[in-house]
Each structure stands twice: as C-alpha cells, then as structure tokens.
Structure 1
Amino acid sequence: MTQAAGSGSDFLQLRAGEAPAKGLTGWLTDGLRGAIAAGRLAPGTRLPATRQLAAELGISRGVVVQAYQRLVDEGLAGARTGSGTVVARDAAVTPRPPVDRRRTLHELRLPLSTPDGIDLNLSPGVPDLAAFPRAAWLRAERAVLDRVTAADLGYGDPGGSPRLRTALAAWLGRTRGVLAEADDILVCGGVAQGLALLAQVATARGEAAWAVEDPGSRGARDQMSHWTVRPEPVPVDEHGLCVDALIGTGLRTALLTPAHQFPTGVVLAPHRRRELLAWAAADDRLVIEDDYDAEHRYDRAPVAALQGTAPESVAYLGSVSKSLAPGMRLGWLIAPRRWQAGLLAAKHASDLGSSALPQLVLAELLAGGDYERHLRTVRTRQRARRDALLAGLRTHLPGARVRGVAAGLHLLVELPDGVDDVALAERIRRTGVLVHPLSWHRQLSGPPGLVLGYAAHPPDRLAEAAARIGQAL
C-alpha cells in the first residue's frame, strides 16, 4: 500500500483496507467478478484506468493490472487499444426478474404515453408536442445563460423565480384578467402540483371534501383522492356548474373549469358566475379555478378568469402543459392571501422550489413576446385539426351531436341513451384509436358520450380516426 489503510474508490465502493494483507489481487478480482455477475458492471462497461484506480485505492498499480488480466483470462473482460479494459459483451450475468413498467402503470391506473396497439391516441389533454417552439426556446435559453447569476442557480425563493412571477403577473393580467402581484404567484410543477398543495393545506384546515363538476376531470378526482380529499359531484348543465346544487352540499371548497368546462366544453354562464362568487364570499369559502386550456379558442370571444373579479375567493391554476409541453412541469397557483403562507410552506416541503432554468427561459419568452407569437401559431394549427375531425365525424357519424367545439383541444360526441360508452370505446380501441368514454369522467348517472382530443395529430390522421370510429359504431 502506498496510502493509509481505508483508502477507497467511488468505483464499486471498493476499500483496500478491507482486503487481506497478502491477498490484494484476489480481493480486487473477486470484487470485479462479483459486480459483473450481479449486473452492477454491465457488458460493455469500461473499467477505470489502472493508474487511476490504484491511486484511489492506495495500492500498487501492478495489483490492478493483474486483477484486470485475470478477468481477461476468464473471458469476463477484454483489453482494447485506446479504450482500456471493457467488460465482455458475453460476460455471464445472473439474470434479474425484468421490471414490467407498463404493467405497473396499468395497475396503478396511470397513463401510458403510447398504449399498446394504439396508433391514434385521441385522449383529451394530449397537446401538439410537435409544435414546441424549439428555436425560440433555444434563443431564450442562450440569452438566459448569457446573463444568469450564481444566485439565480441557488435554492432561492420556493415560490418561484421573481423574474418569472413578474412576467406572469403582467401576462395573466393582460390576457386572462387575473388580478395579482408577483408575490401572489407560486410557481409549481403544473396544475397537478398546485392541486396537491391546495389539498394538503385544505386537509390541514379540516376540509376533507371538495365539490367537483360532474361530468368532470377524472384525473383531478384521482389526484384529490390520493391526497385524501373526497370529491363530491355537482351536476353540470348547459350553463355550467349548477350552483343551487353546490349550495346544497354544504361544502366550503369547489373545483371547476369555468372558461371551458371539462369535458362538455360549456362556459360558465354570467348568472352562474355571480351566484358562484356570492356563494364563495358569503362564508370565506374557496373556488379553485382550473384554467387548463384557455389559450385555445376559435369561434368565440375570450372569457375572463373568475379570479380577477374575486381574488380573495378564488385560487387560480394554470400551466404551460397545453401550450408548450406537459414535460416542462411548469405551472402557477394564485391563491387568496390568507392561503399563501400555508401553500408556500407546503411547496418548500415538497421540493424546495421548481427548476430554475426553465423558469428563467419562460420569463424570457413572455417578456419578449415569443410565447404569445407561439400561441397564435398553435391556435391556427389546432383550428385546422378541429375542423378536420369535425368534417370526419359529419361524414362517418352524420347523426352525432358534437359539443365543445368553439375552444379547447377536445370535443364531446353525445350518444343516444342506453349506449354503453365504455364498451363502445373498447371497440374503437381495437381499431387502434384511443378515446375516452364520457362515463369515465362521471360520478353521477348521465347521458353517454365519447371525449375526443384532436391536438396531437395532423388533419389527415384525424380524418382517418373519424373513419375508424364510424366503422366501430
């Protein structure tokens, strides 16, 4: 040994001090052989340079050379000029049971990006990922990296980058009518994390149930249930959430999608908005406003967010999941100020704060106008896709009634009473097209239907999907 006993390497956590006094070569060979057999050193893995490993272990380089040569002699490794010693491609490895991740996701009822046998995924909520503004994002990222400071890359404020919160306050105020200062905004990992934070604070306050729209997002209900909040259904009609029924529940919190109700597509009518906000203001109640796809509208005027009318009664949620990509995991939560301290503490406990660089890049896109230019481009693409799917449905399902076409990224096909929409969706699935039965998004009984997302596919593929749906019907 050339260094003190106990010297060690990060490589396989080897410690020469654990070796017998006169058996270093055998000890090292056994360690390497065992790691290969267990799969810790996969075939093709390059072993550390002999000089480097010897220095880390505090042993003679000749010991490492001899150990490597034994592996070569046993056919477990091979020496390559210029590449050092590499674990042999055919090295015997003790097989481990394979991990069937797709089965695990299925058993947990979690979504698969591309389910088996599906080539046309019309699930609602799947955006147009091909439209991601790569060039604009790259320009913004370069600009950010050119001036980012060390402090910007630290833990920072768990509520989010001040630059992004400032940009969001201005943009949401201008485009959605939101009334908020930068310090009112909490940057989170999408609407899903915003809901999780609200659920944690609500349950700590003793509010174990929320009113939800019916039909309404099954994903949101599952999220609530995970955080031990019980979803209580309130019916939706052609004017949106039935506020009289909400009042009858006796609950203090309601989650809804007023600008574009999921999945029916209706807009919360003005008289219902007034009734809802009066309900919320009367006894310090809370409306959670999920503004999930308000950027996408085609045949109607924009609908302002509820939050701008009653910022002390409404918690506003939004994200870039439908406008950029869900993989960005960037969203925002603007809650009444009496809730903000609890939410900030929950966010800090969850992850110490969202990733810094994507926040700074989004702030750059917002400040420079690139984000809004991207939205205009995407809106034109999605209008064409919606039109293609509508035309296909008129051709192949001429009697169908279609709702929710004026905005969003999905539409609803209503079916005659008595049709089993779950069985029908399964028949359609066997043609390679994935759709959601409306029953999936219900807790109460109601008419059947199919929910079809159209954002992820070009017009010709949507026309093909409509033809296959027609064949299944």
Structure 2
Amino acid sequence: MREDGDATGGRSMRRSPDDGRAGFGSGLDLHLDLQLDLTGAGGVGRSLEGALREAVRSGRLTAGTRLPGTRGLAADLGLSRGTVVHAYTQLIAEGWLTGSRGSGTRVAGVLPESDTGEAAGHAPAKPRAASVGDLRPGRPDVSTFPRADWVSSLRRVMSAMESEQMGYPDPAGMPALRLAVADYVSRTRGVWASPDSIVITAGFTQALALLARTFRRLGVRSAATENPGFVFHRELLAAAGLDPVPLEVGAEGADPSGLPAGTRVALLTPAHQHPWGVVLAPGRRSAFIDWARRNDAYVIEDDYDGEFRYDQQPVGAMQALAPDRVIYAGSTSKTLAPGARLGWLVVPAPLRGPLLRTMRETGSALPVIDQLVLADLLSSGGYDRHVRRARLGYRRRRHELAERLAGVTDTLLTGVSAGLHALLPVSSAAAERELVSAAEHAGLLLHGLHTAGYWHPAGGERPAALVIGYATPPRHAWRQALDLLVTLVGRPPGVIG
C-alpha cells in the first residue's frame, strides 16, 4: 500500500505492484485514486464513491465491467469491507452499478440520466432502428463456423507441436499449411501449385496490400480493376501508389480490350465476378493471358468464393492456364469466417522473393498455432465437410430468395447460381437509394451498386441493382430478413419508406 500526500491533505491510495498479501481473492485489479479529506462528511466512503463514479463517467470503466469483490477491494485499498459494501450499495441505488447474486457487481449498461450527453448540453442521439437483418454481401453465415472441428484440430496441434515451432515463423507460412493448401487448391480448384509456390496471408485484403506494395517497388504504376468492382480493393491499390483503372464488365466478364497501354497488373474475379456474378468467358481468359505474356504483366485471380457453385458446372481456376503469369488468391473468409484471417497466394517464382521481402519489412507473418490448426483441418477432411454443408445451405437460400422475389417482381436475379450474393436489378440509381434507405430505416442492412461505391467513377447513368448477401444472416434470422426484403421490393414505387 502506498500513501502519497498531496497539497490538500488528501492521499492517493492504490495497490502496490508487489503487494502479494492474500486479500485479492477476486483476481481483479482496479486502480482508484482516493483523495481523502478525513475532516469532510462521509470521509473515506464518500471518496470511494466519488472515485468509482468518476471512473464510470469518464469511460475508464465501461458498461458491463465486473468490479472486484468487496473483500478483495477492501483489502486492496486498506479499507473496511463495510465501507466498500456501502459504496457499492449507494452506486447501485444511483444507477451507476448493478449487482446480482452469482454475477457480482458490474458497471451499469445505461448511465443515470443526469450524466448523459443531454445533461452536458448536448442533444441526445437519435435512436437507431433495431437491426432485424443483415443482407450485405461478402460474408458467410459465421454462426456455422465449425467450432467442434476447430477445437479438435487445436487439441491435436497442441499435443503434437514441438517447442521450436513457437519461434519466429517463416514469412511464407508454416510448411505444414503450405503443403495442405497446395493439395487443397490443386484438387478442388485445378490450380498448379506446390508448397514452395504457396504464401500464407491474413486473408485477401492483406494479400492484395502486400502485392500492391511489391508491384510498386518493381516499377508498376497502375492496376486494372473490374468495373463494377469492390471499392475497398481500389482503395488498397491506391494506398500503395498504384492508379486503379477501370475495366468494363459485360455478360462475358471483364473486357481485356479496355486495358490501357503501360498497365502491368489486372485484378480479376474470373469464376464469379464481384458483384455482377458472371463468369469470365474462355476467349477473354485467353486474351488476358496473351496480354500478360506480351507485356511482362500479371493477373491477380481473386477466387473469393470458388467453392460455392450450385448448378453442377464448376469453373476451374484461371491460374492453371498460365501459372507463370497468374497469381492465384484464396482465403477462408467465405468458407469459415472473415475473423479467421487466413488466406493464401500461389505466386509465380519471379515474384516470390520480392513479395517475401515486403512481408518481412511489414512483419506480416501469421500466428503459428492458427496456421497449424488450419493445416490439420484441411488434412483431416474437416474443412471439406464444412464446405459441403455450407454449400448445401447457401444453395437452398439462393433458391428461396429467387422464388420469393419472383412472387413480387418480374425482374430476375442476375449472374450464375453461385457464391454468397446475388444481384437484383432496379430501375435507377434513385430507386436503388430509396430501397436501401427504406431497408435501413426498417432495420435491414443492404448494399447497392451505387450506394456501396461499386462503380468507378461514381455517378452517371450506370445500371442500378441491390447486391443481396443471402449467406450473411445466421439461420435464425434468415427468414425474417428475407420477409422484410420481399415486402420492400414488392411495394409500389413512391410508397417505400
């Protein structure tokens, strides 16, 4: 215990770092500065109340934070337990804290009204509509994450791994995972890959950022991207110093005739163009590869949802046509969950050295245990089993989406039957914005081609559509989200909202 005198005669009391007495049975540390004026009314008890109240008001103790038990805090501060009990009881009565048998004392979720922003002279925030559904694209149903299989793999990994494996990892990834990924992408996507060609990344976002930085160092100044396309990818390229140039997308995919002179990188989604949903035609695939070979250029193949094709006509990876000119990219973001942060690149030999240099410079190696768990999940068959289950569930959702929308609109979903999203064309950008706004007001999250920034440059008389992520809602929320979407789409123009 330390007692530091101050100019007012009070003292700052807090647990000394080396205080090891057996009074801290709660196992929870709490720093409080008690400015004690023993001549004042209430003395130490009022000081404790004030210190706790200020810690909550300032946000240092956030809603739901569990506080130490009364015995532990009393021993920590050198006070009687009765003083702490009285302080907790008073703050519970005022609404700062909550207390219940079995869960202890916690910071309240809602502060007393006198201490909200309104009391401080600020207008209260407008209430947000309660979210009833999320149909934004780009995410799977994360509630289906294979927890049991993951835990089983984790146990096997922890019981078998050697201590030396916990050292600084190879930036390219753990050998076991590179071997497992090479086998997986070869047999499921037709990719030409060996463990030496694999580089493990924290998903495609990191992979693209690293590639963009690497290409910039190699003298590349621009990169072609599909139009419409994911706005964040353009932002990543621009952040690395590459100028994103648009490639128009039609019924046969991105048009290689639009490649400007001097461009040496093209970012494509050949198997299922995002967001349009079309497949890059064979003739256009060949044209992109011819362009890459003539210009010492590269294609980045973002195979973001290649595992999910529902019409029994799988499309193999473009990389197999030219392993020396196509960088293949895959990840677990759509199969497992974005939060897993695990992905891979299949990199042509000339780029491997420069890419690994970028990874070393940016400290981009991934956690060893996560890599080994994914390697075990892949090699044990657990990953394949999960993908098959997910594929069946998403196929059913897409069919139900198309069937329900057909009952309220004559407009058909566009794109092949694949992936985790579908496009529903609408009449205009204004109609798209109206639908997205009305959905948000009703608690349903939606994206549109214009509202989510898919077109570059933005604006103009570009086609409009809702980009419906039917895989995103958890199972219990899917039907409610679908019902609301159908209601909104089925309303006559001008009465939405």
Same fold, judged at TM 0.5 (above): yes
Tell me which residue corresponds to 1:119.
132
Q: How does 1:105-184 map to 2 (within 5 A)?
A: 117-184=130-197
Does residue 1:225 correspond to 2:238, yes or no? yes
1:396 shift after superposition: 1.3
Percent identical among aligned pairs is: 37
Tell me which residue corresponds to 2:202.
189
CA contact (8 A) 1:428 1:469 kept: no
CA contact (8 A) 1:240 1:269 kept: yes
Does residue 1:9 correspond to 2:17, yes or no? yes
Does residue 1:350 correspond to 2:366, yes or no? no
Tell me which residue corresponds to 1:434.
445
Q: In 1, Cα distance between the equivalents of 2:106 and 2:181?
A: 52
Unaligned runs of 5+ in 1: 2-7, 15-29, 54-63, 79-85, 90-94, 99-114
Tell me which residue corresponds to 1:325.
337
CA contact (8 A) 1:297 1:407 kept: yes
Per-residue deviation, residues 72-91 of structure 1 (Å, max 9, x unmatched)? 4897689xxxxxxx9999xx
Q: In 2, Cα distance between the equivalents of 1:384 and 1:32?
A: 57
Which amino acid counterpart does residue 435 of structure 1 have in structure 2? L
Compared CA separation, residues 33 and 451, structure 1 to 2 (3 A): closer
Compared CA separation, residues 382 and 77, structure 1 to 2 (3 A): closer
Compared CA separation, residues 352 and 215, structure 1 to 2 (3 A): closer
1:173 shift after superposition: 0.8
Compared CA separation, residues 96 and 234, structure 1 to 2 (3 A): same
473, 480, 487: which one aligns with 1:461 = 480
CA contact (8 A) 1:319 1:331 kept: yes
Q: In 2, Cα distance between the equivalents of 1:350 and 1:32?
A: 47
Q: In 2, Cα distance between the equivalents of 1:223 and 1:48?
A: 53
Deviates more, 1:409-418 or 1:367-376: 409-418
Which amino acid counterpart does residue 421 of structure 2 have in structure 1? H
Tell me which residue corresponds to 2:315.
303
CA contact (8 A) 2:70 2:85 kept: no
Q: In 2, Cα distance between the equivalents of 1:414 and 1:32?
A: 59
Q: In 1, Cα distance between the equivalents of 2:379 and 2:198?
A: 17
Does residue 1:254 correspond to 2:266, yes or no? yes
Which amino acid counterpart does residue 371 of structure 1 have in structure 2? Y
CA contact (8 A) 1:76 1:87 kept: no
348, 363, 368: which one aligns with 2:380 = 368
1:70 shift after superposition: 11
Secondary structure of 1:403's counterpart equals coil
395, 402, 413: which one aligns with 1:402 = 413
Per-residue deviation, residues 342-373 of structure 1 (Å, max 9, x unmatched)? 22122233335112222111111111111111
Tell me which residue corresponds to 1:276.
288
Secondary structure of 1:351's counterpart equals coil
Secondary structure of 1:316's counterpart equals strand
CA contact (8 A) 2:137 2:472 kept: no
The Cα RMSD (Å) is 3.8
Tell me which residue corresponds to 1:447.
463
Greater helix share, structure number:
1
Q: In 1, Cα distance between the equivalents of 2:116 and 2:430?
A: 47
Q: In 1, Cα distance between the equivalents of 2:82 and 2:355?
A: 56
Q: How many pairs are equivalent? A: 422
Unaligned runs of 5+ in 2: 2-15, 19-28, 33-46, 90-104, 109-114, 119-127
Secondary structure of 1:412's counterpart equals strand
Which amino acid counterpart does residue 460 of structure 1 have in structure 2? R
Secondary structure of 2:407's counterpart equals helix
Which amino acid counterpart does residue 183 of structure 1 have in structure 2? D
Secondary structure of 2:140's counterpart equals coil
Q: In 1, Cα distance between the equivalents of 2:172 and 2:431?
A: 46
Q: In 2, Cα distance between the equivalents of 1:73 and 1:421?
A: 58
Q: In 1, Cα distance between the equivalents of 2:72 and 2:449?
A: 61
Which amino acid counterpart does residue 365 of structure 1 have in structure 2? L
CA contact (8 A) 2:435 2:489 kept: no
Which amino acid counterpart does residue 211 of structure 2 have in structure 1? L
Q: In 1, Cα distance between the equivalents of 2:55 and 2:131?
A: 36
Q: In 2, Cα distance between the equivalents of 1:419 and 1:35?
A: 51
Calculate the TM-score normalised by the size of structure 2: 0.74
Tell me which residue corresponds to 2:112.
none
Q: In 2, Cα distance between the equivalents of 1:180 and 1:302?
A: 19
Tell me which residue corresponds to 1:470.
490
Q: How does 1:22-37 map to 2 (within 5 A)?
A: none
Per-residue deviation, residues 276-329 of structure 1 (Å, max 9, x unmatched)? 000011121011111000000101421111222212211111100110111101
